[in-house]
Structure 1
């Protein structure tokens, strides 16, 4: 399977209730066309550019789209066995670097009618690195509160950016949805 499509499928399953909610509601393509991409019957490299760009815009921030290229290269160089682990690790490394430079952590609350809403226990956080008026890099993570951890310690991110950075460094590995 094409590495880009593998990443797209992973993100669709992570962000949306179902694949259908993505390919039918968001992209307007048929189930048959989607299944052909999944089985490899239709080469993903033959997808229309406009459809591919829409997929990437729906699933990734522009900064994360750049990181997908790094993840694919890392797998091609045999630094990782699969593109999903490579993307996750690269994204996490960039998030730490961004936070060390003073990036902020923002909680992204789901809005009513959001088809992507998975479960009540899943929240989205954005690491936002503002480099200038027109240059903002954003890396998005989903976090889920595991039942094995005390809820009061992880349900809410602490207030204040310094406290959030400390929380990220301490607890993030325990609550991230990969």
Structure 2
């Protein structure tokens, strides 16, 4: 039995296959530096998988990025990029301390998750929200090819199924 409550989240209005992924500009953070990047420019270089996680200090974010690194997602044909409601400083520290080979967009206002319909308010914290765990595969034109969005907290996908589902043509 987990040492925490599993919470069913309100329904999400997440991205649907065939829809256009919202464009945004945010700091894209590595363990060494960050710079403002827009999703349209990033995606134009090829298929992209956006990985929305709660704040980088959470066990959910750590578990997800550990799993993706172990499975070699940084070697996929699609670029794998995170989105977190954390600051660039927190993300840079998180990436450096864990030696993750990924980049993560800093979205401390949580506006990107809101535009994707996957934001949720933290229990007991008025006005504080974060993204629910979600994976969104988009092509070079920002068309959503596939998406998986958590329906409860915490919830993790079946990664074997997810890998197949998110493969871009």
Range into which the TM-score falls when normalised by the shorter chain: under 0.3
TM-score (norm 2): 0.24
The structure with more strand, counted as a fraction of residues: 2
**Structure (1 or 2) with the larger CA radius of gyration:** 1
Higher relative contact order (CA 8 A, sep 6+): 2
The structure with more helix, counted as a fraction of residues: 1
